[in-house]
Chain A
């Protein structure tokens, strides 16, 4: 499994916040995505968009609620198409399957189109070790492969790289010096990758959708690398999470309207590729073998919990990342595993273990923007609360997030707020006590714990000179 660094969320966030270059990049790019999404919805009309969202959600709910049935159907139909379906319970099993296919057929060069599941599996290092060269062919993925990093964003993996970073990387790693503009860089990658694309003997892809009825795998792409991966190599291996299923071919009409608009604000992407098995005997080209690897790797735990099941409706468009105020500031790497942002804060803790990702359910202001933009209307804030409750109520003290001090404070607060006299007294005392702390009208630091920790990254507005209750009594209350 991919290295889990979810424990380090706090440290990684502080580091990201202090990184001026990253902050400037995030500031520039995040709005662009959501602006495009909104325009695309306007163009379709908001009414139609709502209709598609409702349909999409209903289809996903039905499929996930009956996933065993649809897995069975998919298996039959892919097999009928001449493909082979393999099942993997976890990352290691999935790696072994891909490895065995490569080894037994003597495959040497694997071209990959974007696959988040292959990131879960850390597939690339595994293939390298066994002598297969894996080449990421999506430009963003290629950049982070050269940089030996992990994706920063679900659909823009190299979003955190400036063109200067890429220029330097291309000079060092592929000996293409002095590339000045972005077009030249894309051109250089195109040239280097073309040779791989036409010579590979193994294609590895993910899947955006799997149609159970016809045994069809659907890839939604813009660059064309996905078409190469599914056309040139003699063996095609597609790796996918088991939640990607939809029942009918006609359901694609809904999802093809939802995904491109939510992801990049496009009416449709440059390419949508539908693979129904290996080449037929009189086809001119296409893979001789088609393998579909269906991966669980922690998804049954999400499936099992009726409160968390809807996290599996996700179609990985990235819209919730683009709108999230927390993602805007800390970026994708701080989340510490494959899936960042609000949806990552739900799925990662369950997939890697809640005790290893205690901070993620708290990495949200619960503002609800993620739920509002989600094309499948996934209620992310509700699930984050559920995970917070699980943490707070856990009998395992190592999982418990709430300290004794915090509990005492909550008790004190309750006492305070239920007594008007006590509240009034505290307010008066507080106003006096805060005086030495005021700097330009704000409390910047409280020099003793536990408050010092809170003010380390925040400012506290001071208590008002006149409390609301007094204003109400003097003025507002009388106006009624």
Chain B
């Protein structure tokens, strides 16, 4: 049972209605997007996916180009060996000893644990169940590695949907974040993303999960004399590896 604080919903909305001179009910003009039914949404989404599939090569290039502009360091890996090479170099450069990652399917494809542990780093999955043995405090990790749910070429954005196995903090606490992107996850535009999420919401009977994060390059601030400083509360360095097409 929700607690009643402040003004009741009924009375608040009634007063808004009175200010507008409306009598209630549906909007004066129908708002087309909200009238759309599930099958129309599904159709649009499937057309979108078709288009993305056709354009995948171009979109991967565009993602790499824009992401670089937005402050990511981008690697387009030619093969799985190249992906591991990049991660190896990143570990050497950052001298990271403690690495956190999320628990995502992509790590079955990219075996970072073996690689990093082989180089003497500790790797910890950041999740409630795993954190019990506490090899190290996740807050002290120097590198965080995640997959993505989507990547948007238009804006150079990695989209993460935190949920089971995927903590909100892996891409936030450490000073360096590495995002692994599969070509199949690349979308062309913001519109593609919002359409797919909207479909998800309605297909699940009104739920799309608690959180969706857009990450576009490193954290930054220009709050003192409009001078850009890279690295505010989030990572100061962000790397994106786009895996080779399978």
Contacts and interface: CB of A to CB of B under 8 A. Distances in A.
A167 to B, nearest CB: 10
A304 B78 CA distance: 61
Main secondary structure of the interface of B (DSSP, over half): loop
Interface of A: 25, 28-29, 32-33, 62, 65-72, 75, 77, 79-81, 84-89, 93-94, 96-97, 100-101, 137-140, 143, 156-159, 161-163, 166, 182-183, 185-187, 190, 193-194, 197-198, 213-214, 222-225, 227-228, 230-232, 242, 247-253, 256-257, 264, 267-280, 282-286, 293-294, 296, 300-301, 303-304
Interface stretch (B53-61, B85-93, B108-116, B227-235): B227-235
B41 to A, nearest CB: 10
A268 B216 contact: yes
Interface centre among B22, B227, B233, by most A CB within 10 Å? Answer: B233
8 contacts: A62-B29, A72-B13, A89-B7, A137-B233, A248-B34, A250-B198, A257-B190, A272-B213
B232 A225 contact: yes
A269 B211 CA distance: 17
A212 B110 CA distance: 39
B171 to A, nearest CB: 9
B190 A256 contact: yes
A223 B221 contact: yes
B225 interface: yes
A143 to B, nearest CB: 7
B28 A224 contact: no
B47 interface: no
Interface centre among B7, B210, B214, B216, by most A CB within 10 Å? Answer: B210
Interface in B187-246: 189-191, 194-195, 197-198, 201, 206-227, 229, 231-235
A224 B169 CA distance: 11
Contacts of A100: 5
A113 to B, nearest CB: 10
Contacts of A242: 16
Interface centre among B6, B31, B126, B219, by most A CB within 10 Å? Answer: B6
B224 A166 contact: yes
A68 B16 contact: yes
Contacts of A166: 224
A156 B226 contact: yes
Contact of B25 (A69, A159, A249): A69
Contacts of A257: 190
Nearest to B173: A198
Contact of B232 (A88, A190, A213): A190
